[in-house]
Amino acid sequence: MAEPYLIGDAMTGGYGGADILHGCTIAVEKGQIAVIVGPNGAGKSTAMKAVFGMLKLRQGQVRLDGEDITTLTPQARVAKGMGFVPQTHNIFTSMTVEENLEMGAFIRRDDMAETMAQVYDLFPILKQKRLQPAGELSGGQRQQVAVGRALMTKPKVLMLDEPTAGVSPIVMDELFDRIIEVARTGISILMVEQNARQALQIADKGYVLVQGANRFTDTGKALMADPEVRRSFLGG
Amino acid sequence: MDILNALVAFTNFVFVPALAYGAQLALGALGVTLIYGILRFSNFAHGDTMAFGTMVTILVTWWFQSMGINFGVLPTALLALPFGILGTALFVLGTDRVVYRFYRQKKAAPVVLVMVSMGVMFVMNGVVRLIIGVEDQQFADGGRFVISAGDFKAATGLAEGLAIKSSQAITVGAAVLVVAWLFWFLQKTRTGKSMRAFSDNEDLALLSGINPDRVVAVTWIIAAALATIAGTLYGLDKSFKPFTYFQLLLPIFAAAIVGGLGSPLGAIAGGFVIAFSEVIVTYAWKKVVTYVVPESLAPDGLVQLLTTDYKFAVSFVILIIVLLVMPTGLFKGKSV
C-alpha cells in the first residue's frame, strides 16, 4: 500500500513528564476524511497536536507527502501546507470576519481575493457578516470563521480539533456538511470529534484511541458496524 | 451676571489648558496601552522614556539653535523631533534586546516584567539626569501666542482675555495628526492588523505565520515615537524637568486604565477625562462664579476644591473608582 499523504507514525511522547501517546499512528489520505474518536483523556487532541508539531515526540515520525517533518515547528508546517483549527481561542475576536481571513493568509504574499471568495462561497453567512467583529458571532458562525481562517493558506491538509464542540445539533450537521465539501475540493481532513457517531458516518477512516494508543482502526462504516466499538464507545 | 465673560474666563483658564494637557496625556497613554496590549505588561519606564526622548530632542534643538537653524514661528524643537524619535527608538530597541527579550523568552509572568520595567525606569532616570541634569530646561522658541489676552480684549471689548499659546495649538494639532495616523496604521495596514491580531490572540497569530519579533520591534518603535512626541509637547507647553516626567507616569497610567488598558480609543478618552478632572478640581473658580451669580452672592474664598499641590490625588481617586466600579475601563479593555 502506498504511503498516506500525512502520517504520524508510531508517535510516542507527551508534554514533558509522563508519555501520553504510546506508539500511536494517525494517517490521512489525499482528499479523505480521517476522524479520531475515543473516551475522554484518550489523547485524541494530543495526537492531533503531535502531528502538528505542538509537542515533542520521543519516538516516531511525522511525514507529509513522504517528507519527514518531525522536527519542523508548527509555523513551518503551515508553510508546508498544513492548516490547524484549535478547539478554543481559534478566532481573533476583536477583529472583523474579513480581517480574520486576511490574518489567516498572512504568510501569503500573492493576491488572496480568490481564496477569500471561495471561503465566502463555502460559508455564505460570513460574507454577510464580513465587517462585523468575529467575537460578536454565534458559536456556529465563529467555528466557520475559524475554519475559513485556516483555509486561507490554501492548505493541503486541514486539521480540526473538535470543530463541533459547544454548538447545537443542527449547526453540527451543517458544519459536517461543510467539512465534506472541503474534502471534496481535494483537501485532506483530520479531525478529533466528541460526537463519535456523527463523525464516523462521514469518515473515510476512523481511529479509536484508548490511553494514547490505537485500539481500533478501520473505515468509518466498519467501525460503526463493529459490535465491540458500538458497545464500548458509541453507547450501544 | 455676565455669562460671556464667565465663558471666556472658563475657556482661558480651564478648557484650553485642559485640552492641551489632555492631548499630552492621551499620547502618553496610547504608548502605555499599546505596550500593554501587545507586550502584555504595564511599562513603568514610559514616563522616563518620555523624558529621554524629550532630552534628545532638546539637545538637537540646542544644536540647531547654535547653528542658527530655526523653524520660523514654529518651535525649532519640531525640527529636532524626528531625531528625538530616532534616538529614543534605538534606545528602547536596545533595552528590549538586552533586557526584555530575555524575560519574554523565559515566558516570565507579567508582574515580573512590570518589575523589570521599574528597573529600566530607574536606569533611564539616571541616564537622563546624568546627561542633561536635574534642572528645569526651557527650549521653546518661535511665536509665543496664537491669540494673546491683550489682543483678544482689544478685539472683543470684553473684560476677560483669552490667550491661546502656540504650544497649546501645536499640541492639539499634533495630537490629532498622530492619533489619526496611528488609527489608520492599526486599522488599514498589514503590519498594523498583525499587531492587533497578536494582541488579540498570540497563539493564533503565531499559527497564522505572524512574526512575533517584528510585531514587538514595531510596537517599541511606535511607543518610543509616541513618548517622544508627548514629552516634547509637554516640555514646550510647560518646561522640561526629569522629575516632572517621572511624576507624569501616574496620570498617564490613570488615563490608560480609565479608558481600558489595551484600547487605543480608551487611552485618548482617558487622557481627557483625567486632564479635565485635574484642572477642574484644582482651578480657583472665584472669577467665573463672580461673573455668573448676583453681586450679593459673590464668593469670598477662592472656590478651589483642592490646591494644585494635590493634583495627583485627583488621578489617584479616579483610578481607584474605576478599578472598583469598572475594572475594564470605559472602553472595555483588559482588566488589570
How far is Cα B227 from Cα B89, in angstroms, rounded to an integer? 10
Task: Please write the tens of the pLDDT for every residue from A167-222.
Answer: 888 999 999 999 999 999 999 999 999 888 889 999 999 999 999 999 999 999 99
Q: Which residues of A touch B206 (CB under 8 A)?
A: 74-75
Residue B201 and residue A86: Cα distance in Å, rounded?
12
B32 lies in some domain: yes
Cell (9 digits) for B27: 499620547
B200-214 CB burial, b ≥16 within 10 A, e <16: bbbebbbbbbbeeee
B330 falls within a domain: no
pLDDT digits 0-9 by tens, B7-24: 999 999 999 999 999 999
A104 vs A110: CA distance, rounded Å: 13
Considering only alpha carbons, which residue of chain B is nearest residue A77?
A: B207
Quick check: B196 and A92 CB within 8 A? yes
Find the CATH number of the domain harbouring B142. Answer: 1.10.3470
CA distance A32 to A179: 11
Q: How far apart are the first and last CA of chain B?
A: 47
Amino acid at B277: S
Q: Tell me if A218 sits within 8 A of A207, measured CB to CB.
A: no
Q: Is the dihedral of CA B187, B192, B194, B196 positive or negative?
A: negative
Distance, CA of B309 to CA of B121 (rounded, Å): 24
- Amino acid identity of B61? T
Give which of A155, A152, A174, A149 is closest to A164, Cα–Cα: A174
With H, G, I as helix, E, B as strand and everything else as coil, classify residue A60.
Answer: strand
Give the closest of A89, A102, A106 to B209, CB-based: A106
Complex ipTM: 0.88
Q: Give SS3 for A157.
A: strand
Which of A103, A87, A144, A77 has its CA nearest to residue B198?
A: A103
What is the Cα–Cα distance from B20 to B177, expressed in whole angstroms? Answer: 14
> Each residue of A11-26: pLDDT tens digit?
999 988 889 999 999 9
- pLDDT of the residue at A236: 63
The chain B residue lying nearest A108, using CA atoms, is B209
- Residue B60: all three cell numbers together: 538637537
pLDDT score, position B300? 86
Verify whether the Cβ–Cβ distance A106 to B194 is below 8 Å.
Answer: yes
Q: Is residue B332 part of a domain?
A: no
* pLDDT tens readout for residues B282-295: 999 998 888 888 88
Determine the distance in angstroms separating the CA of A72 from the nearest CA of chain B, rounded to an integer.
Answer: 13
**Mean pLDDT, rounded, for B184-209:** 94
The confidence band for B1, taking pLDDT boundaries of 50, 70 and 90, is low
pLDDT higher than 60, residue B336:
no
Cell of B28: 502618553
CB contact under 8 A, B208 and A89: no
Domain count, chain B: 1
C-alpha cell at B262: 489595551
The reply to whether B331 falls in a domain is: no
Give the model's pLDDT for residue A148: 96
pLDDT tens-digit map of B135-175? 999 899 888 899 999 999 999 888 889 999 999 999 999 99
Do the domain assignments include residue B333? no
Q: What is the pLDDT of residue B335?
A: 56
CA of residue B39 relative to chain centroid, distance: 20
**Proportion of chain B above pLDDT 90, given as a percent:** 80
| Chain CA centroid to CA B95, Å | 21
pLDDT band at A154 (very low <50, low <70, confident <90, very high): very high
Chain A residues within 8 A (CB-CB) of chain B? 74-75, 78-79, 84, 86, 89-95, 99, 102-104, 106-107, 149, 153
Separation in Å, CA of B185 to nearest CA in chain A: 14
Per the CB < 8 A criterion, the answer to whether B77 and B58 are in contact is yes
The answer to whether the CB atoms of B209 and A75 lie below 8 A apart is yes
Indicate the residue type of B236.
L
Please, which pLDDT band fits residue B306 given cuts at 50, 70 and 90?
Answer: confident
Residue contact B193–A79, C-beta within 8 A: no
Q: What is the pLDDT of residue A200?
A: 93
Helix axes B190-200, A97-104, angle to 10 degrees: 100
Joined grid coordinates for residue B224: 518610543
Give the Cα separation of A210 and A22 in Å (integer): 10
Q: Is the pLDDT of residue A36 over 80?
A: yes
Give me B193's grid cell.
492588523
Q: Looking at the domain assignment, is residue B22 inside a domain?
A: yes
Residues of B within 8 A of A94 (CB-CB) are 196, 199-200
Entry field: residues in chain B: 336
Say what the pLDDT of residue B13 is. 94
List of chain B residues whose C-beta atoms are within 8 Å of the C-beta of residue A143: none
Rounded distance, CA B207 to CA B185, Å? 23
DSSP assignment letter at B61: H
Contacts of B200 in chain A (CB under 8 A): 92-95
Q: List the domain range (segments joined by +) for residue B122.
A: 3-325
pLDDT at residue number A39: 87
Q: Is B282 exposed, middle or buried (0-12, 13-18, 19+ CB in 10 A)?
A: middle
- From chain A, the residues in CB contact with B204 under 8 A are 86, 89-92, 149
